Structure 1
Amino acid sequence: MLSQQLLQQDIEIVTAKNGQISATYKGLNLHSTYNPEREAQKLVAENTKNAEAGVFLGFGLGYGAVAFAKEYPTKTLVMIEYNPIWFMLALSTIDLSAIFEHQNFVLLVGAPHQTIISVLEKIGIQNCSFFKTKSHILHDEQYFSNLENLINRNLQKKEINDRTLEKFSKLWLKNMCKNINIATTLDGVDRYFDAFKGMNACVIAAGPSLDEILPYLKEIKHNTLLICVDTALRACLNVGVEPDFIIIVDPQYWNIRHLDGLSAPNSIIITELAVYPSVFRFSCKEKLLCSSIYPLGKYLEKNVTQRGELGAGGSVVTTAWDFARRCGCSKIFMAGLDLGFPENKTHFKGSTFEERAHRQSSKLNPAETDSFNALYGAFPYEVNNYEGGKVLTDKRMALYAWWFESKCLEFLDVKTYTLSPKGVNIPGVVLASIKELLQLPDISAKKTNVLNKPSSTDFNQQKILFEKALNNAKDELYQIMKNAKKAQYICKEALANPKSNPISINKKLKEIDSEILRNQAAELASLVFPANEKLSKLTENAKNPLEKSLIIYKEIEKAVFIHLKFLEKIR
């Protein structure tokens, strides 16, 4: 039966010149015609040195995966195949026992793309070495092509995150330390998780199409849980509508400028510990904290209380959508989510960006110059919109669109709709009309009952726990610094004395490394510790492993010192 299926799949079993079994697909060799096993060993050796996992996008008869399993028994092995017949082909052709005996083996056959991406993200997609042979994926080329696109987008996101971390990490740390005392008096966003089940939500983003939604906003608020991103708040208030919730999570100073001169006494702000401190002086009904995505915030939550995690896809609107989902809303309507430049517009009328451009304009630098730069500065390209036409977007917004696409696949019970027909067409996000939104039942009374629910948090106890956690963090950071200095001394002594016993030196450094890694505050220093690319540049001129180790220990000491400098200022 399998042989008939193989013939239908255009697969032919052949014998290599060394006697090993091989195969062809539509005339293309799946493996070497001379020595399939040796070819696989060479391929694996050349591409896996610095990786922590090997991911095979298609695997033919499995020679490559077997070679990986034998050579790297502790690294993670991931095999991906869409068609079960191809997996059965490998299973029935060569000995795969090394694969099934491997201690970190993951097999994904016929898995949805989002499932695969979730697995790779858990492993650490940037730490994976990917193996792809054209003849191994040709039978389901579209499936593997789409998967590759998603992998590349994830890798791009990691690169962007690393660059952002390098640029803003000290600012985030400084903000968190300034905000810690205020944080002791605030409740967590998880207070509202699943509190709005059976209700619909409307998320207000700041895209150009928001202008078409604003005239109906008062009615929309009656029918939905109204969640607004910080960049769109001015537009809402200008038409006399205070959102139920305002989301602001960007730590940069310029982000708080969107709230200049505004107040929303009936709105609740959802924010995070690293935001610019003046956010906590904004006039509103209440402020709630979501779980921090930064190490210091995570450390404090681990030792104090969980606030409630919200997804972060690089834009505040992704966090707003995830908050609506966590609230229990099964239908989420997105207003102003263009993720592009419909009709070559960059923002809604009267946005902070537009107003600033007009204020700073001059004869030689008119406001139109800013608009042009915003439109064409990121090398835009055309994609499909919901009307069957084209809309300009760029790589940054394409990543946000992919985030929404992936979340729609991940949370199939949540239906997401867009009110922006000229915006980027996002698979999984369905076009809806304003009329549909206005026909929803009025939920004002239900919302009020939930929104007026008092907090049950014991803030006195929370303050005590915060103080204890901060003191522990400082003690543990001082211990890391002590160990880093001790390791530097060992390295310097060994470098100055070429006759030092390398085995003894290596043992001492390993013991120190183990102490540092066991320290609960080790993750804190990672925020301002150099990313891989920068660390590689710092150590590229090191003449030997000891010199490289010395540089790394100096960077650890520096990262700990920066944390302690800010933490000691907290009173």
Structure 2
Amino acid sequence: MSFFEENTGCLKQRFPGFENEVLSRFKADSALTLVETDSGFPSAVYRGRLLHSRQAPLREAERIAEREDLARASCVIITGFGLGYLAEACLTLNPGISVVIMEPDIPLFLASLSSRPLSRIFTSQRISLLLNADPEVLFSLLSAVPPGPIKLVKFRPLYENHKAYYDHVETVIASFINRREINENTLKRFGHVWVRNMFRNLSGLMKARPVMELYGLFSGTPALVLAAGPSLDLLMPHLKNLRDKFLIIAVDTSLNACVLSGVEPDFLIVVDPQYWNTRHLDKMALGSCAVVSELSTHPAVFRKAMGQLYFCSSIFPLSRYFEEVLGDWGRLGAGGSVSTTAWDFARLLGCRPILFAGLDLGFPDKATHYRGSFFEERSQSLAGRMMPPETLSFSYITEAGPFADVNNLGGRTLTDRRLSLYRWWFENQLTLYPGTDTGTLSAKGLAIKNMPLVDLENLYERPDIRKELDPVLRNLGKEPAENAPTKGSHLVPVMERLAEEMTALKHYAEKALALTGTLATARSGINDAGAVLGELNRIDGHILASVSRDIAGFLVQESARGILSRASAETTMEKLTEETGAMYREIMESADFHLSLLRTSLTQITRID
């Protein structure tokens, strides 16, 4: 059997689609020439360029992998395959690490399969092979890797041949790392707030409907989505007239613009857990406006009179626990901004086209929000002789690393690291859903691929549809809900079961913490230590089997990441015992925190019902 047959056999077994998607569509590049070496491992020349060492290609790859310091990495992404030496070295020298191979040149990859046996690479469950794949797919793939650093290793000999592709790969990796860092910092700062909000909002489930009831309800209906950027000022004088021609979807931060324009939006999207975000709704009546929210939103929102309330699924384990028991609520995309959720809501309603107003993702003319927004009014109220509003705006603009980027007119608009992540989210979603006709009215907003600029005057050419929309909107929530509980009696048994699970989890964590204390004091002999470790393993099994582990573990993620990132072969037993004890203590404290909130919420719901 030839090397090619052996290697393609491994690939077909490991990747079932390989034969139809690759072998049947591409031929090996004949320009690859193998070169014998003294080490017995072949090198190769491709179009006049040497790909590996002429003496010892495997050892060369091992030195590169060692130089990259991959010991603590959870994942390494290799741009280019060559003859596979770099991928093999990363697998061999770093047991446990995930290896992603990004190779845009399929014919060259097929030619490499005739060079040597590669089964060690292709049979590994730690390998992901992406052949001429859209670099954007990296985002979902990286979301599944364990916590830890992500490393990029470049196969230099052919890097320049596909520089644009590899630059895109680097951009996606940087965006993922950036977003993960922001998420981790946000969790560290607001994790307890989110959990507290969710427990306080459980009573809201008694009046909410699942957002999935609305999917497809407005198929083919044009939607105008109102974000809160400075360019919203340009739309406000036209909003009252355009209401007859569009379904109006507003994010919470843009509600005051609607009020100032004399327009009640059809849907209001409110998904922010923080108190200050509720201030956008100060002194505002929501009237018959339907509100789309989720369980972690700040409870102050739900004290207002409003139209029908809809809940969407949440990314948080506590919310998922209730949803698994009570029924699916329906998912909306979450790209870190309420505007991303509003776009996905419009998409799932079936709206076409979806037009954005106020989606600037930057600071056109150095403005931060539309005139009359809560942000602007707050900066005015906080201003003084020594701190004018301009100083507060300057701080807002400069705090997240500002830089200029291309806008929809081809000029430059100031943006920042955080806002550019939202641009990446929109571009990724518009690639995933190419049939979603989306445009923007923000001329000086950050340019977003596949979201063209639309002339405001052209909107007046659309027919009036308000007479068709209003009867549908008035009927929202009138039909019986299938997936939302209507009485506390639905919720109470679920909450009581969770309390039992959380109590058991706290007990196991307390017991494990005491055992690690026994190990740390070193009062026991080696035989006793073995028994203690055995008991800890048994307790770990109970913790991992608990349905409440993810709920309590939500607040322990930072400690877990810290332990994993610091772990190495040189870690002493004493240090490991200390960190393990700290982990059990955090699990115990998290379980206790959840139990306290759970008991309070149970009392409230029982009283309401």
Residue 74 of structure 1, CA deviation: 6.7
In 1, distance between residues paired with 2:490 and 2:63? Answer: 55
Aligned CA-pair RMSD: 2.6
Which amino acid in the other structure matches residue 324 of structure 2? K
Distance 1:297 1:3 in 2: 50
1:113 maps to 2:135: yes
**1:63 equivalent in alignment to 2:94:** no
| TM-fit CA distance, 1:82 | 0.8
Q: Which residue, out of 315, 330, 352, partners 1:308?
A: 330
When normalised by structure 1's length, the TM-score is: 0.92
Residue equivalent to 1:546? 577
Residue of structure 2 aligned with 1:18, choices 39, 49, 52: 39
Q: 1:148, CA displacement in angstroms?
A: 0.8
Q: Does 2:509 align with 1:487?
A: no
The corresponding residue for 2:523 is: 497
Query: Does 2:58 align with 1:37?
Result: yes
Match of 2:123 in 1: 101
Cα offset, 1:41, TM superposition: 4.3
How far 1:220 moved relative to its partner? Answer: 2.2
The residue type equivalent to 2:523 in the other structure is N
Q: Distance in 1 between matches of 2:179 and 2:346?
A: 23
Alignment partners' CA distance in 2, 1:142 and 1:26: 19
Identify the match of residue 469 of structure 1 among 494, 503, 512. 494
Alignment deviations for residues 468-521 of structure 1 (CA, whole Å, 9 cap, x no partner): 221111111111111111212222223332523354433322221121111111
Distance change (3 Å), C-alpha of 1:81 and 1:362 = same
Q: Take 1:535 and 1:105, find their aligned partners in 2: how far apart are those partners?
A: 25
| CA gap 1:122/1:221 in 2 versus in 1, 3 angstroms | farther
Q: What amino acid is the match of 1:157?
A: R
Spell out the pairing of 1:163-242 with structure 2 (5 A cutoff): 163-242=185-264
2-side partners of 1:417 and 1:377: how far apart? 29
**1:396/1:351 CA distance change after superposition, 3 Å:** same
Alpha carbons 2:407, 2:444 under 8 Å: kept = yes
Secondary structure of the equivalent of 2:114? Answer: helix
1:25, 1:135 within 8 Å by CA — same for their partners in 2? no
How far apart, CA to CA, are the structure 1 residues paired with 2:573 and 2:435? 54
CA contact (8 A) 2:138 2:173 kept: no
Name the structure 2 match of 1:444. 466
Is the alpha carbon distance of 1:17 and 1:99 closer, same or farther for their aligned partners in structure 2, counting shifts above 3 Å? same
Alignment check: 8 A CA contact 2:512 2:539 kept:
yes
**Partner Cα separation in structure 2 for residue 275 and residue 90 of structure 1:** 53
How many matched pairs? 567
For 1:96-146, what per-residue CA distance to the aligned partner results, in whole angstroms no more than 9, with x for missing partners? Answer: 222332235432111112233333324458565443232243220110111
Aligned partner of residue 574 in structure 2, secondary structure: coil
Aligned partners of 2:385, 2:470: CA distance in 1, in Å? 51
Which deviates more from structure 2 when the two are superposed, residues 102-111 or residues 419-428?
Answer: 102-111
Match of 1:455 among 461, 467, 479: 479
Which stretch of the first structure deviates more once superposed, 236-245 or 75-84?
A: 75-84
Cα drift, residue 5 of structure 1: 4.3
Out of 510, 520, 528, which is 2:555 matched to?
Answer: 528
Give the Cα separation in 2 of the matches to 1:544 and 1:257.
46
Amino acid at match of 2:481: T
Which residue is 1:390 aligned to?
412
Query: Any idea what SS the aligned residue of 1:80 has?
Result: strand
2:72–2:566 CA contact under 8 A, matched in 1: no
Report the residue type matching 1:116 in the other structure: L
Offset from partner CA, 1:180-211 (integer Å, 9 cap, x none): 11222211111101111111211100111111
Choose 439-448 or 259-268, whichever is displaced more.
439-448
| Structure 2: tracts of 5 or more residues without a match | 1-25, 604-609
Paired with 2:195 and 2:347, the residues of 1 have a C-alpha distance of: 29
Within 5 Å, give how 1:278-317 maps onto structure 2: 278-317=300-339
Say whether the 8 Å CA contact 1:208–1:342 is kept in structure 2: yes
Shift, 1:68, TM fit? 4.6
Matched, 1:244 2:269: no
State the partner residue of 2:4: none
Q: 1:498 to 1:90 in 2, by over 3 A?
A: farther
- Residue matched to 2:374: 352
Structure 1 353/541 Cα, relative in aligned 2: closer, same or farther at 3 Å? Answer: farther
Task: Identify if the C-alpha distance between structure 1 residues 463 and 34 changes in structure 2 by more than 3 Å, giving closer, same or farther.
Answer: farther
Q: Does 1:512 align with 2:539?
A: yes
Q: 2:356 aligns to what? A: 334
CA contact (8 A) 1:417 1:430 kept: yes
Question: Is the contact made by 2:207 and 2:486 (CA closer than 8 Å) also made in structure 1?
Answer: no
Structure-2 residue corresponding to 1:567: 598
Structure 1 residue 72, shift from structure 2 partner: 7.0
Mapped to 2, the partners of 1:54 and 1:375 lie a distance apart of 34
Distance in structure 2 (CA, Å) of the matches to 1:373 and 1:305: 44
* Alignment-mate amino acid for residue 497 of structure 1: R
- Give the direction of change, closer, same or farther, for the CA distance of 1:364–1:243 in structure 2 (3 Å limit): same
TM-fit CA distance, 1:526:
2.2
Structure 1 runs not aligned, ≥5 long: none
Structure 1 residue 283 displacement after superposition: 2.5
CA distance, structure 1, for counterparts of residue 162 and residue 297 of structure 2: 46
Quote the offset at 1:446 in angstroms. 3.3
Q: 1:380 aligns with which of 394, 402, 412?
A: 402
